[in-house]
Each structure stands twice: as C-alpha cells, then as structure tokens.
Amino acid sequence: MSRIGFCLRRLQGRASGTTAARRSFFTSQSSSQDTSEPQRKYTPRRALMYVPGNDDRKLAKIPSLGADCICLDCEDGVALNKKEEARNKIRRLLDDRPKWNFGKSECSVRVNAVGSGMCADDLNVVLGGENLPDAVHLPKVDDPEELTWFVQRYNNALAESENEEASTTVSLVMFIESARALLRLPEICAMAEQLKMMSNLVPEAVVFGSDDFVADIGATRTTAATELLYARQKVVAVAKAFELQAIDLVHIDYKDLDGLKKYSEEGARMGFTGKQVIHPSQVPVVQSAFSPSEEKIEWATNLIKEFREHEKAGKGAFTFRGHMIDMPLVKQANNIVQMKDRLS
Ligand code: COA
Ligand code: MG
C-alpha cells in the first residue's frame, strides 16, 4: 500500500475522535456526527527499563525483568560501531517475540534521534518485519518539525515493509533533552496530537532526558537535582496538559537503592508517572514508589465515599479525619483510585 493510501486510511479511521484537538483538526468535516472512540487501554510505565539492543547477556534477562516497559535501545546505550548490530538483533527479537516471554512488560524500541542521521535506518529495520513493537521511543525531540519528519519516515518504512500489522496502533514516547525542547514542549505535544491522525502512532508519554539536558544548559548535576527542578516541573505540567504520562530522570548510581527509593518517591509526589531505569535491581524499587500505597488507597476510597454522602446533603466542604476536604482533595483522591484500577 502507498504511503498516501495508508495516511488516508488512518485519517478516515480516526475522523470520529472526540477530543477538542481532533475536532479542530477536522473542522472541514462534520463534527456533529462525532461518535465516541473507545478508550485506549492505559499502559503503565512506572519503570521504563533500558536494555541495550546489541547486548545478548542483557537481552537474555528480558523474561525476568518485570519492568512495565522494556525499552530495547538503539540509541545512547549502544556504541556507535554497534548500531547496526543492535537494530538487527532487535528485528530478530521482534520476529521471535513469543519466545522472549515479555510477560506483562511492554516491548518497545528506542531509535536514534532524528538529527543523528541514523533514525531512518533504525525505522527501516525495526519496522521491516512482521511484528511491530508495542511502542517506539524517539529521543532528543527538539522541535515539532522533527516529529513531522519522523512520522513521514515511520509511515514510509511501514508502507515499504507491506507490514500486515500496519493498522494496529503503536505508542509514541517522546524525549525532551534540551533547553530548546523544553521551551517548545507544548508545540511538540500539540504536533504529536495532530500527527496521530496520520499514522498508527499514538503519543502516550514524555520522558525527561536529564543528563543530556544538564549538558545542554551547562549545569552541574547534584544529588538533590535542584538544577533540574524547573525543567522537571515543566515536563510534568505540559505532559499532563496533553494527557500524556511524564517519566522522570535516571538514577545513575544504580547500587544506591535507598537513594533511588527517595528520589522515586519525590518524582511520584511531583506528578511523574514513572522513572527511567538502567539496572534490574532498580525495577521493584521504582515500581513500588510509583504505585499508590495500601494506606493511600484506603484514605482515598473512604474520602470519596464520605464526599458522596456530603454532596447529597448539599455540602461542598466537610471534615475528614481532622482535615478540611473540598473538590481539589476529592480530585486527588480520584487520581489515586484511578491509578490503582489501572495497575490491577
Ligand atoms: N538490562 C538487562 N540486564 C541487565 C541490565 C540491563 N539494563 N543491566 C545489568 N543487567 C544484568 C547483567 O547482564 C548481569 O547479568 P549477567 O551476569 O548474567 O550478565 C546482571 O544484570 C547484574 O548486572 P551487574 O553485573 O550488576 O551490572 P553490569 O556491570 O553488567 O552492568 C551497567 C551495569 C550500568 C553497565 C548496565 O546496567 C547497563 O548497561 N545498563 C543500561 C545502560 C543504558 O542503557 N544506558 C542508556 C540509557 S540511560
Ligand atoms: Mg538521552
């Protein structure tokens, strides 16, 4: 199928979307006939774990990792002279995917950045077989135009492969790793939202690439990461404005599990939904920090119950376990219950 045919089919298939962005994109078509698109299943990415695509010993660990998201890496975890080996190994792994036993883990691939000159080759190989990954990660997205280029290349690679899975959706995870990217993040997210009508890529998450960001702004990395506070808060706020997941920085001192727990909990409190992980021992610590505790679930469930009773009695604010509760707290409790439901 030609790329144009593919894009048109995607456009037709998605013309019934319900979000404001979709409606405005299709203003020339009827919006009064909108029908609801089924809700896309939430894929948790509490731990986003990198496995270098060329490293057999690490690839062999896939069935035991238990990370929500396993990211087979072609980018910075792979040396320049191993890039071809990595993308070919990943292709073979996708061909034999059932043998690799991903369990509940998402099988995703990080290609090289648009500016690297290697992205098109990665896409041609990774999308060139029968099975697609569940998600594609695009690092170092500096501006929205890069996304347009990427989606065109992605569509070309799929069209050339005559891939039978071309109509199934693939999640798109975008990396913000420079000052320019941070400034343009709202435009990048808006472009991703538009482009999803032209391909089978569905934007789902923004990852904060802190080490590249530190290098880009000329900062010095500290343990407390105060130099990253503004950027991290901005990533969370913009990602949430576009209903995307926000994934926090890597804790590179991978033997320091106490520090990992502390900084994971901090990230969760800031609104991040997950964290990047580089070593198997980091997975359970991070996944636990990004899951609501039993105590929180109990608090939220009972708060919502009491809220409903007070609401019936016409009361907007009430006291619950010694604290004043009004709508913002009810919304926070709802977030906790919703996350529990998504993880179960
Ligand atoms: N994925 C899968 N398995 C991994 C792994 C990973 N990311 N990191 C370590 N392991 C495996 C090792 O292969 C080893 O198993 P083996 O003895 O059967 O080979 C076991 O876990 C214990 O590893 P350990 O000896 O403690 O660490 P290491 O010296 O092998 O590796 C790192 C340490 C940091 C080099 C490694 O964790 C790594 O490469 N992580 C990914 C880095 C990356 O992708 N960076 C780019 C994104 S930020
Ligand atoms: Mg990076």
The pLDDT tens digits of the residues spanning 176-196 come to 999 999 999 999 999 999 999
């890039």: which residue's tokens? Answer: 83
Give residue 38's pLDDT band: very low, low, confident or very high (50, 70, 90): low
Give residue 163's pLDDT band: very low, low, confident or very high (50, 70, 90): confident
The response to whether residue 58 sits with its C-beta less than 6 Å from ligand 1 reads: yes
Give every CB contact of residue 122 below 8 A, 6+ residues apart in sequence. 74, 83, 87, 109, 111, 112
Distance CA 173, CA 177 (A): 13
The response to whether residue 250 sits with its C-beta less than 6 Å from ligand 1 reads: yes
Residue 167 is predicted with a pLDDT of: 76
pLDDT average, residue stretch 248-268: 97
Residue 162 is predicted with a pLDDT of: 77
Q: Which of 1-5, 215-219, 287-291 has the lowest mean pLDDT?
A: 1-5
Give residue 36's pLDDT band: very low, low, confident or very high (50, 70, 90): low
Is 82's pLDDT higher than 70?
yes
Nearest of 168, 104, 94 to residue 131 by alpha carbon: 94
Is 199's pLDDT higher than 50?
yes
What is the H or E stretch that residue 204 is in? strand 201-208
Residue 7 is predicted with a pLDDT of: 41
Distance CA 171, CA 28 (A): 27
Distance CA 156, CA 158 (A): 5
CA-nearest residue, atom 21 of ligand 1: 280
Residues that are catalytic: 326
Distance CA 192, CA 148 (A): 8
Could you say which ligand is closest to the alpha carbon of residue 175?
2
The response to whether residue 212 sits with its C-beta less than 6 Å from ligand 1 reads: no
Residues 252-279: b if buried by 16+ CB within 10 A, e if exposed = eeeeebeebbebbeebbeebbbbbbbeb
- How many other C-beta atoms lie within 10 A of the C-beta of residue 40? 10
Give residue 287's pLDDT band: very low, low, confident or very high (50, 70, 90): very high
Is 306's pLDDT higher than 90?
yes
Q: How far away, in angstroms, is 259 Cα from ligand 1 center? A: 19
Across the strands, what pairs with 47? 275
Give residue 28's pLDDT band: very low, low, confident or very high (50, 70, 90): very low
Nearest of 118, 47, 52 to residue 79 by alpha carbon: 52
The response to whether residue 278 sits with its C-beta less than 6 Å from ligand 1 reads: yes
The response to whether residue 53 sits with its C-beta less than 6 Å from ligand 1 reads: no
CA-nearest residue, atom 5 of ligand 1: 279
Give residue 19's pLDDT band: very low, low, confident or very high (50, 70, 90): very low
Mutation pick for ligand 1 pocket among 49, 61, 283 (CB with most ligand atoms within 8 Å): 61
Q: For 201, phi and psi rounded to 5 degrees?
A: -85, 130
CB contact at 8 A, 187 and 151:
no
